[in-house]
Amino acid sequence: MPSARSDIDIPALLREGLAALTQGRADAAATICRQMLGADPRCVPAHFLVGLVALERRDHKTAVSAFGSVTHLSPKHAAAWAQLARVLMQLGRPNEAEPALARALEIGSDDPLVQDLLGTVCALFGDHLVAQQWFDRATTARPDVAAFQINRANNLISLGHDVEARSALAAVLLADPDSPQGHWMLANARRATSSDHIVKLDALCVAHAARPHAMAFLAYAAGKEHEDLEQWSDAFAAFVCGATAKRATVDYDEGADAALFDAITATFTPDWCARAMPACVDPSPIFVIGQPRTGTTLIERIITSHSQVHSAGELQQFPMSVRRMANVAGPQRHSVAVMRAAATIDPRTLGEMYLHATTHLRGTKTRFVDKLPINYLYLALIAKALPNARIVHVVRGPIDSCFASYKQLFADAYLHSYDLAEMARHHIRYRHLMDHWRAVLPGRFIDVAYEDVVDDVEREARRLIEYLGLPWEDACLEFHRNSASVSTASAVQVREPVHRRSVARWRRYEVQLQPMISALREAGLN
Protein backbone atom coordinates (compact mmCIF):
# COMPACT_ATOMS: atom_id res chain seq x y z
CA MET A 1 0.00 0.00 0.00
CA PRO A 2 1.47 3.41 -0.96
CA SER A 3 2.56 5.59 1.95
CA ALA A 4 2.18 9.34 2.27
CA ARG A 5 5.02 11.44 0.89
CA SER A 6 6.64 13.56 3.59
CA ASP A 7 7.74 16.33 1.17
CA ILE A 8 4.14 17.43 0.45
CA ASP A 9 2.46 19.91 2.80
CA ILE A 10 -1.04 18.47 2.64
CA PRO A 11 -2.65 20.91 5.12
CA ALA A 12 -1.36 23.84 3.05
CA LEU A 13 -2.60 22.24 -0.17
CA LEU A 14 -5.97 21.61 1.42
CA ARG A 15 -6.31 25.27 2.39
CA GLU A 16 -5.32 26.28 -1.12
CA GLY A 17 -7.80 23.85 -2.67
CA LEU A 18 -10.69 25.02 -0.50
CA ALA A 19 -9.87 28.64 -1.30
CA ALA A 20 -9.83 27.88 -5.03
CA LEU A 21 -13.22 26.15 -4.80
CA THR A 22 -14.68 29.06 -2.81
CA GLN A 23 -13.48 31.43 -5.53
CA GLY A 24 -15.19 29.35 -8.22
CA ARG A 25 -11.95 27.89 -9.61
CA ALA A 26 -13.03 24.26 -9.71
CA ASP A 27 -10.31 23.20 -12.16
CA ALA A 28 -7.58 24.58 -9.90
CA ALA A 29 -9.14 22.83 -6.89
CA ALA A 30 -9.24 19.56 -8.85
CA THR A 31 -5.53 19.87 -9.69
CA ILE A 32 -4.73 20.35 -6.02
CA CYS A 33 -6.83 17.28 -5.16
CA ARG A 34 -4.72 15.20 -7.54
CA GLN A 35 -1.54 16.47 -5.87
CA MET A 36 -2.82 15.54 -2.42
CA LEU A 37 -4.02 12.09 -3.48
CA GLY A 38 -0.76 11.49 -5.32
CA ALA A 39 1.04 12.16 -2.06
CA ASP A 40 -1.42 10.18 0.07
CA PRO A 41 -4.13 8.07 -1.65
CA ARG A 42 -5.87 7.62 1.70
CA CYS A 43 -6.07 11.34 2.51
CA VAL A 44 -9.63 11.80 3.77
CA PRO A 45 -9.78 15.61 3.33
CA ALA A 46 -8.57 15.22 -0.25
CA HIS A 47 -11.33 12.74 -1.10
CA PHE A 48 -13.89 15.04 0.53
CA LEU A 49 -12.63 17.98 -1.52
CA VAL A 50 -12.92 15.84 -4.65
CA GLY A 51 -16.58 15.38 -3.77
CA LEU A 52 -17.11 19.11 -3.27
CA VAL A 53 -15.43 19.87 -6.60
CA ALA A 54 -17.66 17.27 -8.27
CA LEU A 55 -20.75 18.93 -6.78
CA GLU A 56 -19.61 22.26 -8.18
CA ARG A 57 -19.25 20.63 -11.60
CA ARG A 58 -22.56 18.78 -11.22
CA ASP A 59 -20.66 15.52 -11.67
CA HIS A 60 -22.86 13.44 -9.38
CA LYS A 61 -21.21 10.12 -10.22
CA THR A 62 -17.80 11.35 -9.08
CA ALA A 63 -19.35 12.98 -6.02
CA VAL A 64 -20.91 9.68 -4.92
CA SER A 65 -17.59 7.90 -5.42
CA ALA A 66 -15.61 10.54 -3.52
CA PHE A 67 -17.94 10.82 -0.54
CA GLY A 68 -18.22 7.04 -0.51
CA SER A 69 -14.43 6.83 -0.27
CA VAL A 70 -14.52 9.17 2.72
CA THR A 71 -17.11 7.07 4.54
CA HIS A 72 -15.03 3.96 3.84
CA LEU A 73 -11.81 5.53 5.11
CA SER A 74 -13.48 7.42 7.97
CA PRO A 75 -16.80 5.74 8.90
CA LYS A 76 -17.68 8.45 11.45
CA HIS A 77 -17.39 11.35 8.99
CA ALA A 78 -20.87 12.86 9.41
CA ALA A 79 -20.43 15.48 6.66
CA ALA A 80 -19.50 12.84 4.09
CA TRP A 81 -22.52 10.71 5.00
CA ALA A 82 -24.76 13.77 4.73
CA GLN A 83 -23.31 14.84 1.39
CA LEU A 84 -23.65 11.29 0.15
CA ALA A 85 -27.32 11.26 1.19
CA ARG A 86 -27.96 14.54 -0.61
CA VAL A 87 -26.34 13.45 -3.87
CA LEU A 88 -28.09 10.07 -3.82
CA MET A 89 -31.43 11.84 -3.36
CA GLN A 90 -30.64 14.09 -6.30
CA LEU A 91 -29.86 11.00 -8.36
CA GLY A 92 -33.19 9.44 -7.43
CA ARG A 93 -31.68 6.66 -5.29
CA PRO A 94 -33.64 7.07 -2.03
CA ASN A 95 -33.10 3.48 -0.95
CA GLU A 96 -29.41 4.33 -0.57
CA ALA A 97 -29.91 7.97 0.48
CA GLU A 98 -32.08 7.27 3.52
CA PRO A 99 -29.61 5.01 5.39
CA ALA A 100 -26.79 7.46 4.55
CA LEU A 101 -28.72 10.29 6.20
CA ALA A 102 -29.61 8.08 9.16
CA ARG A 103 -25.89 7.35 9.63
CA ALA A 104 -25.04 11.06 9.45
CA LEU A 105 -27.65 11.93 12.07
CA GLU A 106 -26.50 9.10 14.31
CA ILE A 107 -22.93 10.42 14.24
CA GLY A 108 -23.88 14.09 14.54
CA SER A 109 -21.39 16.92 14.88
CA ASP A 110 -20.36 19.88 17.03
CA ASP A 111 -19.14 21.75 13.94
CA PRO A 112 -21.66 24.46 12.91
CA LEU A 113 -20.83 23.93 9.24
CA VAL A 114 -21.75 20.26 9.49
CA GLN A 115 -24.81 21.06 11.63
CA ASP A 116 -26.06 23.38 8.89
CA LEU A 117 -25.44 20.66 6.31
CA LEU A 118 -27.39 18.12 8.38
CA GLY A 119 -30.30 20.57 8.61
CA THR A 120 -30.20 21.16 4.87
CA VAL A 121 -30.33 17.47 4.03
CA CYS A 122 -33.11 16.81 6.57
CA ALA A 123 -35.15 19.59 4.94
CA LEU A 124 -34.49 18.04 1.54
CA PHE A 125 -36.02 14.83 2.89
CA GLY A 126 -39.04 16.82 4.15
CA ASP A 127 -38.23 16.47 7.84
CA HIS A 128 -38.37 20.16 8.80
CA LEU A 129 -38.69 19.59 12.53
CA VAL A 130 -35.41 17.69 12.76
CA ALA A 131 -33.86 20.16 10.32
CA GLN A 132 -34.78 23.03 12.65
CA GLN A 133 -32.89 21.46 15.52
CA TRP A 134 -29.69 21.40 13.48
CA PHE A 135 -30.19 24.92 12.06
CA ASP A 136 -30.75 26.24 15.58
CA ARG A 137 -27.52 24.67 16.76
CA ALA A 138 -25.53 26.05 13.82
CA THR A 139 -26.84 29.61 14.17
CA THR A 140 -26.43 29.60 17.95
CA ALA A 141 -22.78 28.71 17.53
CA ARG A 142 -22.18 31.07 14.59
CA PRO A 143 -24.81 33.81 14.39
CA ASP A 144 -22.48 35.81 12.14
CA VAL A 145 -22.73 33.39 9.19
CA ALA A 146 -25.45 34.63 6.82
CA ALA A 147 -25.78 31.28 5.00
CA PHE A 148 -26.67 29.53 8.26
CA GLN A 149 -29.22 32.20 9.11
CA ILE A 150 -30.77 31.95 5.61
CA ASN A 151 -31.28 28.22 5.95
CA ARG A 152 -32.78 28.63 9.41
CA ALA A 153 -35.13 31.38 8.22
CA ASN A 154 -36.27 29.32 5.23
CA ASN A 155 -37.04 26.38 7.48
CA LEU A 156 -38.96 28.56 9.94
CA ILE A 157 -41.07 29.89 7.07
CA SER A 158 -41.79 26.30 6.02
CA LEU A 159 -42.88 25.49 9.55
CA GLY A 160 -45.12 28.56 9.69
CA HIS A 161 -43.17 30.17 12.54
CA ASP A 162 -43.60 33.63 11.04
CA VAL A 163 -42.46 35.74 14.00
CA GLU A 164 -39.30 33.69 14.44
CA ALA A 165 -38.73 33.75 10.68
CA ARG A 166 -38.79 37.55 10.57
CA SER A 167 -36.30 37.61 13.43
CA ALA A 168 -34.11 35.16 11.54
CA LEU A 169 -34.27 37.34 8.41
CA ALA A 170 -33.09 40.29 10.48
CA ALA A 171 -30.19 38.11 11.61
CA VAL A 172 -29.40 37.27 7.97
CA LEU A 173 -29.04 40.91 7.01
CA LEU A 174 -27.15 41.68 10.21
CA ALA A 175 -24.62 39.00 9.27
CA ASP A 176 -24.50 40.14 5.62
CA PRO A 177 -26.29 43.42 4.84
CA ASP A 178 -25.89 42.84 1.09
CA SER A 179 -27.10 39.22 0.98
CA PRO A 180 -29.12 38.84 -2.28
CA GLN A 181 -31.03 35.84 -0.98
CA GLY A 182 -31.65 37.55 2.35
CA HIS A 183 -33.18 40.57 0.62
CA TRP A 184 -35.31 38.29 -1.59
CA MET A 185 -36.60 36.43 1.44
CA LEU A 186 -37.35 39.69 3.21
CA ALA A 187 -39.36 40.94 0.22
CA ASN A 188 -41.44 37.77 0.22
CA ALA A 189 -41.97 37.69 3.98
CA ARG A 190 -44.07 40.85 4.18
CA ARG A 191 -46.03 43.29 2.07
CA ALA A 192 -44.08 46.40 1.03
CA THR A 193 -45.64 49.70 2.05
CA SER A 194 -42.95 52.02 0.71
CA SER A 195 -40.17 52.03 -1.87
CA ASP A 196 -37.39 52.24 0.73
CA HIS A 197 -36.29 48.64 0.28
CA ILE A 198 -36.52 48.90 -3.53
CA VAL A 199 -33.92 51.68 -3.45
CA LYS A 200 -31.55 49.31 -1.66
CA LEU A 201 -32.37 46.50 -4.12
CA ASP A 202 -31.69 48.72 -7.12
CA ALA A 203 -28.29 49.68 -5.71
CA LEU A 204 -27.45 46.02 -5.12
CA CYS A 205 -28.51 45.14 -8.68
CA VAL A 206 -25.92 47.58 -9.99
CA ALA A 207 -23.26 46.10 -7.72
CA HIS A 208 -24.10 42.51 -8.70
CA ALA A 209 -24.81 43.08 -12.41
CA ALA A 210 -22.23 40.48 -13.46
CA ARG A 211 -23.54 37.79 -11.10
CA PRO A 212 -26.69 36.16 -12.52
CA HIS A 213 -27.47 34.11 -9.40
CA ALA A 214 -27.43 37.25 -7.25
CA MET A 215 -29.29 39.28 -9.88
CA ALA A 216 -32.11 36.73 -9.95
CA PHE A 217 -32.71 37.09 -6.21
CA LEU A 218 -32.51 40.87 -6.26
CA ALA A 219 -34.63 41.46 -9.35
CA TYR A 220 -37.39 39.08 -8.25
CA ALA A 221 -37.39 40.79 -4.86
CA ALA A 222 -37.78 44.19 -6.54
CA GLY A 223 -40.55 42.87 -8.77
CA LYS A 224 -42.49 41.55 -5.80
CA GLU A 225 -42.26 44.86 -3.95
CA HIS A 226 -43.18 46.90 -7.03
CA GLU A 227 -46.30 44.71 -7.27
CA ASP A 228 -47.09 45.32 -3.62
CA LEU A 229 -47.03 49.04 -4.43
CA GLU A 230 -49.05 48.52 -7.65
CA GLN A 231 -46.18 49.82 -9.76
CA TRP A 232 -47.03 47.43 -12.57
CA SER A 233 -44.61 48.53 -15.30
CA ASP A 234 -41.64 48.57 -12.94
CA ALA A 235 -42.69 45.20 -11.55
CA PHE A 236 -42.74 43.56 -14.97
CA ALA A 237 -39.37 45.02 -15.91
CA ALA A 238 -37.92 43.59 -12.72
CA PHE A 239 -39.45 40.16 -13.34
CA VAL A 240 -37.97 40.10 -16.86
CA CYS A 241 -34.57 41.02 -15.43
CA GLY A 242 -34.82 38.28 -12.80
CA ALA A 243 -36.09 35.63 -15.21
CA THR A 244 -33.38 36.42 -17.74
CA ALA A 245 -30.71 36.14 -15.07
CA LYS A 246 -32.10 32.86 -13.74
CA ARG A 247 -32.54 31.37 -17.23
CA ALA A 248 -28.83 31.94 -17.83
CA THR A 249 -27.99 29.70 -14.87
CA VAL A 250 -30.19 26.68 -15.66
CA ASP A 251 -29.95 23.93 -18.26
CA TYR A 252 -33.50 23.47 -19.56
CA ASP A 253 -33.94 21.00 -22.45
CA GLU A 254 -37.33 21.74 -23.98
CA GLY A 255 -36.95 18.88 -26.45
CA ALA A 256 -36.57 16.40 -23.60
CA ASP A 257 -39.57 17.97 -21.86
CA ALA A 258 -41.76 17.54 -24.94
CA ALA A 259 -40.51 13.98 -25.44
CA LEU A 260 -41.45 13.13 -21.85
CA PHE A 261 -45.06 14.21 -22.34
CA ASP A 262 -45.26 12.33 -25.65
CA ALA A 263 -43.88 9.19 -24.00
CA ILE A 264 -46.45 9.35 -21.20
CA THR A 265 -49.46 9.50 -23.52
CA ALA A 266 -47.95 6.86 -25.83
CA THR A 267 -47.20 4.51 -22.91
CA PHE A 268 -50.27 4.86 -20.70
CA THR A 269 -52.88 4.17 -23.33
CA PRO A 270 -56.59 3.42 -22.86
CA ASP A 271 -55.75 -0.29 -23.08
CA TRP A 272 -53.07 -0.03 -20.41
CA CYS A 273 -55.34 1.94 -18.08
CA ALA A 274 -58.23 -0.51 -18.57
CA ARG A 275 -56.10 -3.54 -17.76
CA ALA A 276 -56.81 -5.37 -14.49
CA MET A 277 -53.75 -5.31 -12.27
CA PRO A 278 -52.90 -6.14 -8.64
CA ALA A 279 -53.06 -3.09 -6.38
CA CYS A 280 -52.48 -1.77 -2.87
CA VAL A 281 -55.93 -1.01 -1.45
CA ASP A 282 -54.84 1.33 1.36
CA PRO A 283 -57.20 4.36 1.25
CA SER A 284 -55.04 6.77 3.27
CA PRO A 285 -53.27 8.82 0.55
CA ILE A 286 -54.74 12.01 -0.88
CA PHE A 287 -52.75 13.41 -3.79
CA VAL A 288 -53.04 17.12 -4.64
CA ILE A 289 -51.62 17.76 -8.10
CA GLY A 290 -51.38 20.53 -10.68
CA GLN A 291 -49.06 23.28 -11.81
CA PRO A 292 -47.10 25.37 -9.29
CA ARG A 293 -48.62 28.65 -8.12
CA THR A 294 -52.16 27.53 -8.99
CA GLY A 295 -53.60 27.13 -5.50
CA THR A 296 -52.41 23.62 -4.67
CA THR A 297 -51.20 24.80 -1.26
CA LEU A 298 -54.51 26.52 -0.54
CA ILE A 299 -56.41 23.30 -1.33
CA GLU A 300 -53.99 21.25 0.75
CA ARG A 301 -54.53 23.57 3.70
CA ILE A 302 -58.31 23.26 3.44
CA ILE A 303 -58.08 19.47 3.40
CA THR A 304 -55.51 19.16 6.20
CA SER A 305 -57.49 21.45 8.47
CA HIS A 306 -59.73 18.39 8.86
CA SER A 307 -59.06 16.44 12.04
CA GLN A 308 -58.60 13.16 10.16
CA VAL A 309 -56.00 14.38 7.64
CA HIS A 310 -52.27 14.93 8.11
CA SER A 311 -50.21 17.35 6.00
CA ALA A 312 -47.21 15.41 4.73
CA GLY A 313 -45.96 18.16 2.40
CA GLU A 314 -44.49 17.80 -1.07
CA LEU A 315 -43.24 14.23 -0.91
CA GLN A 316 -40.77 12.97 -3.50
CA GLN A 317 -41.47 9.36 -2.56
CA PHE A 318 -43.88 8.39 -5.34
CA PRO A 319 -41.61 9.41 -8.24
CA MET A 320 -38.67 7.93 -6.37
CA SER A 321 -40.48 4.65 -5.82
CA VAL A 322 -41.26 4.54 -9.53
CA ARG A 323 -37.61 5.14 -10.37
CA ARG A 324 -36.46 2.55 -7.88
CA MET A 325 -38.74 -0.13 -9.34
CA ALA A 326 -38.08 0.92 -12.94
CA ASN A 327 -34.35 0.60 -12.18
CA VAL A 328 -33.41 3.51 -14.43
CA ALA A 329 -30.32 5.46 -13.40
CA GLY A 330 -29.48 9.01 -14.43
CA PRO A 331 -29.75 12.54 -13.06
CA GLN A 332 -33.15 13.32 -14.61
CA ARG A 333 -35.97 13.06 -12.09
CA HIS A 334 -38.60 12.39 -14.74
CA SER A 335 -37.58 10.85 -18.06
CA VAL A 336 -38.82 8.95 -21.09
CA ALA A 337 -36.87 5.88 -19.99
CA VAL A 338 -38.47 5.91 -16.53
CA MET A 339 -41.99 6.20 -17.94
CA ARG A 340 -41.52 3.38 -20.42
CA ALA A 341 -40.01 1.08 -17.80
CA ALA A 342 -42.67 2.02 -15.26
CA ALA A 343 -45.40 0.59 -17.45
CA THR A 344 -44.07 -2.91 -16.71
CA ILE A 345 -43.72 -2.73 -12.93
CA ASP A 346 -46.08 -4.34 -10.45
CA PRO A 347 -48.58 -1.70 -9.23
CA ARG A 348 -49.25 -3.36 -5.89
CA THR A 349 -45.56 -3.45 -5.04
CA LEU A 350 -45.27 0.18 -6.13
CA GLY A 351 -48.10 1.23 -3.83
CA GLU A 352 -46.68 -0.72 -0.92
CA MET A 353 -43.21 0.71 -1.51
CA TYR A 354 -44.60 4.25 -1.56
CA LEU A 355 -46.51 3.73 1.69
CA HIS A 356 -43.46 2.20 3.34
CA ALA A 357 -41.25 5.07 2.18
CA THR A 358 -43.65 7.64 3.63
CA THR A 359 -44.22 5.90 6.97
CA HIS A 360 -42.30 8.45 9.03
CA LEU A 361 -43.78 11.41 7.11
CA ARG A 362 -47.53 10.77 7.05
CA GLY A 363 -48.31 11.11 10.72
CA THR A 364 -50.76 9.08 12.78
CA LYS A 365 -54.09 10.23 11.33
CA THR A 366 -56.18 8.03 9.06
CA ARG A 367 -55.46 10.06 5.92
CA PHE A 368 -52.56 12.16 4.65
CA VAL A 369 -51.99 14.63 1.82
CA ASP A 370 -49.06 14.34 -0.57
CA LYS A 371 -48.93 17.74 -2.26
CA LEU A 372 -46.24 17.26 -4.90
CA PRO A 373 -47.75 19.13 -7.87
CA ILE A 374 -45.78 17.28 -10.53
CA ASN A 375 -47.31 13.95 -9.53
CA TYR A 376 -49.74 14.70 -12.36
CA LEU A 377 -47.11 13.05 -14.59
CA TYR A 378 -47.69 9.77 -12.73
CA LEU A 379 -51.47 9.78 -12.57
CA ALA A 380 -51.94 6.44 -14.32
CA LEU A 381 -49.46 4.75 -11.99
CA ILE A 382 -51.06 6.31 -8.91
CA ALA A 383 -54.49 5.19 -10.07
CA LYS A 384 -53.30 1.61 -10.63
CA ALA A 385 -51.07 1.29 -7.59
CA LEU A 386 -53.44 2.95 -5.12
CA PRO A 387 -56.99 2.62 -6.46
CA ASN A 388 -58.56 3.82 -3.20
CA ALA A 389 -56.40 6.94 -2.96
CA ARG A 390 -58.15 10.23 -3.72
CA ILE A 391 -56.67 12.58 -6.32
CA VAL A 392 -57.40 16.31 -6.41
CA HIS A 393 -56.33 18.26 -9.48
CA VAL A 394 -56.13 22.01 -8.93
CA VAL A 395 -56.57 24.07 -12.08
CA ARG A 396 -56.24 27.80 -12.64
CA GLY A 397 -56.78 30.11 -15.60
CA PRO A 398 -53.92 29.40 -18.02
CA ILE A 399 -52.63 32.96 -18.34
CA ASP A 400 -52.70 33.55 -14.58
CA SER A 401 -51.10 30.15 -14.06
CA CYS A 402 -48.23 30.81 -16.46
CA PHE A 403 -47.58 34.33 -15.28
CA ALA A 404 -47.66 33.27 -11.61
CA SER A 405 -44.85 30.81 -12.32
CA TYR A 406 -42.90 33.27 -14.47
CA LYS A 407 -42.77 35.83 -11.68
CA GLN A 408 -41.72 33.29 -9.06
CA LEU A 409 -38.10 32.35 -8.39
CA PHE A 410 -37.92 28.60 -7.76
CA ALA A 411 -35.01 26.60 -6.39
CA ASP A 412 -34.11 23.78 -8.78
CA ALA A 413 -37.49 22.94 -10.29
CA TYR A 414 -39.77 24.25 -13.06
CA LEU A 415 -36.86 25.27 -15.28
CA HIS A 416 -39.30 26.09 -18.11
CA SER A 417 -40.72 29.04 -16.16
CA TYR A 418 -38.06 31.67 -16.90
CA ASP A 419 -39.01 32.33 -20.52
CA LEU A 420 -42.54 33.37 -21.53
CA ALA A 421 -42.63 31.26 -24.71
CA GLU A 422 -41.16 28.18 -23.02
CA MET A 423 -43.60 28.62 -20.14
CA ALA A 424 -46.59 28.76 -22.52
CA ARG A 425 -45.53 25.71 -24.50
CA HIS A 426 -44.97 23.67 -21.33
CA HIS A 427 -48.40 24.68 -20.04
CA ILE A 428 -50.01 23.56 -23.29
CA ARG A 429 -48.32 20.16 -22.96
CA TYR A 430 -49.57 19.89 -19.37
CA ARG A 431 -53.16 20.74 -20.38
CA HIS A 432 -53.11 18.16 -23.16
CA LEU A 433 -51.81 15.53 -20.72
CA MET A 434 -54.61 16.29 -18.26
CA ASP A 435 -57.13 15.91 -21.11
CA HIS A 436 -55.55 12.53 -21.82
CA TRP A 437 -55.93 11.47 -18.18
CA ARG A 438 -59.60 12.48 -18.14
CA ALA A 439 -60.16 10.31 -21.21
CA VAL A 440 -58.30 7.20 -20.01
CA LEU A 441 -59.04 7.52 -16.27
CA PRO A 442 -62.66 8.74 -16.21
CA GLY A 443 -63.89 9.73 -12.76
CA ARG A 444 -60.55 8.90 -11.16
CA PHE A 445 -59.82 12.45 -9.96
CA ILE A 446 -61.66 15.66 -9.19
CA ASP A 447 -60.91 19.04 -10.76
CA VAL A 448 -60.99 22.04 -8.41
CA ALA A 449 -60.68 25.50 -9.96
CA TYR A 450 -58.75 28.10 -7.96
CA GLU A 451 -61.10 30.86 -9.15
CA ASP A 452 -64.14 28.90 -7.91
CA VAL A 453 -62.53 28.47 -4.49
CA VAL A 454 -61.84 32.16 -3.99
CA ASP A 455 -65.35 33.01 -5.25
CA ASP A 456 -67.07 30.69 -2.76
CA VAL A 457 -64.66 28.91 -0.47
CA GLU A 458 -67.33 27.15 1.60
CA ARG A 459 -69.11 25.70 -1.42
CA GLU A 460 -65.88 24.33 -2.90
CA ALA A 461 -64.54 23.14 0.44
CA ARG A 462 -67.72 21.16 1.09
CA ARG A 463 -67.56 19.64 -2.40
CA LEU A 464 -63.95 18.69 -1.81
CA ILE A 465 -64.48 17.14 1.61
CA GLU A 466 -67.48 15.19 0.29
CA TYR A 467 -65.34 13.80 -2.56
CA LEU A 468 -62.77 12.66 -0.03
CA GLY A 469 -65.45 10.74 1.86
CA LEU A 470 -64.95 12.69 5.06
CA PRO A 471 -67.55 14.21 7.39
CA TRP A 472 -67.75 17.99 7.18
CA GLU A 473 -65.84 20.04 9.78
CA ASP A 474 -66.06 23.82 10.06
CA ALA A 475 -62.31 23.88 10.71
CA CYS A 476 -61.84 23.40 6.96
CA LEU A 477 -62.88 27.04 6.52
CA GLU A 478 -60.24 28.15 9.02
CA PHE A 479 -57.36 26.84 6.93
CA HIS A 480 -55.26 29.98 7.49
CA ARG A 481 -54.96 28.93 11.13
CA ASN A 482 -53.48 25.57 10.15
CA SER A 483 -50.09 25.21 11.88
CA ALA A 484 -48.59 22.49 9.68
CA SER A 485 -45.38 23.22 7.77
CA VAL A 486 -45.41 24.57 4.20
CA SER A 487 -42.25 24.12 2.15
CA THR A 488 -43.38 26.02 -0.94
CA ALA A 489 -43.36 29.54 -2.32
CA SER A 490 -46.87 29.95 -0.88
CA ALA A 491 -45.75 29.53 2.73
CA VAL A 492 -46.58 33.11 3.70
CA GLN A 493 -49.72 33.60 1.58
CA VAL A 494 -51.62 30.55 2.85
CA ARG A 495 -51.48 31.82 6.41
CA GLU A 496 -53.97 34.58 5.59
CA PRO A 497 -57.69 34.29 4.71
CA VAL A 498 -58.69 33.67 1.10
CA HIS A 499 -58.64 36.70 -1.21
CA ARG A 500 -59.09 37.57 -4.90
CA ARG A 501 -55.96 39.70 -5.37
CA SER A 502 -54.32 37.15 -7.65
CA VAL A 503 -57.32 36.46 -9.91
CA ALA A 504 -56.75 37.88 -13.42
CA ARG A 505 -53.68 39.77 -12.24
CA TRP A 506 -52.19 39.13 -15.66
CA ARG A 507 -54.43 41.88 -17.07
CA ARG A 508 -52.12 44.41 -15.43
CA TYR A 509 -49.46 43.16 -17.85
CA GLU A 510 -51.57 42.34 -20.89
CA VAL A 511 -49.36 44.20 -23.38
CA GLN A 512 -46.08 42.73 -22.09
CA LEU A 513 -47.50 39.19 -21.96
CA GLN A 514 -48.77 39.12 -25.55
CA PRO A 515 -46.31 36.46 -26.81
CA MET A 516 -47.43 34.09 -24.06
CA ILE A 517 -51.10 34.99 -24.37
CA SER A 518 -51.05 34.44 -28.14
CA ALA A 519 -49.45 31.00 -27.80
CA LEU A 520 -52.01 29.92 -25.22
CA ARG A 521 -54.97 31.22 -27.20
CA GLU A 522 -53.77 29.58 -30.41
CA ALA A 523 -53.87 26.32 -28.44
CA GLY A 524 -57.46 27.05 -27.39
CA LEU A 525 -56.54 28.11 -23.84
CA ASN A 526 -57.95 31.42 -22.62
Domain positions in the chain: 1-108, 187-249, 266-522
Topology, domain 266-522: Rossmann fold (3.40.50)
Confidence (pLDDT) at 361? 78
Confidence (pLDDT) at 92? 63
Confidence (pLDDT) at 500? 65
The contacts of residue 233 (CB under 8 Å, 6+ apart) are none
Confidence (pLDDT) at 493? 53
d(CA 480, CA 305): 9
Burial 233-250 (b: 16+ CB within 10 A, else e): ebbbbbbbbbbebbbeee
Burial of 155 (0-12, 13-18, 19+ CB in 10 A): buried
CA 62 from centroid of its chain's CA atoms: 24
Low-confidence ranges of the chain (pLDDT < 70): 1-7, 92, 94, 330-331, 482-501
What's this model's pTM, rounded to 2 decimal places? 0.84
Question: Is there a contact between 380 and 437 (Cβ–Cβ < 8 Å)?
Answer: yes
Confidence (pLDDT) at 495? 46
d(CA 468, CA 54): 46
Confidence (pLDDT) at 223? 97
Topology, domain 1-108: 1.25.40
Confidence (pLDDT) at 94? 67
| pLDDT tens per residue, range 40-80 | 899 999 999 999 999 988 888 899 999 999 999 999 999 99
Helix (H) or strand (E) holding 100: helix 94-107
Confidence (pLDDT) at 484? 55
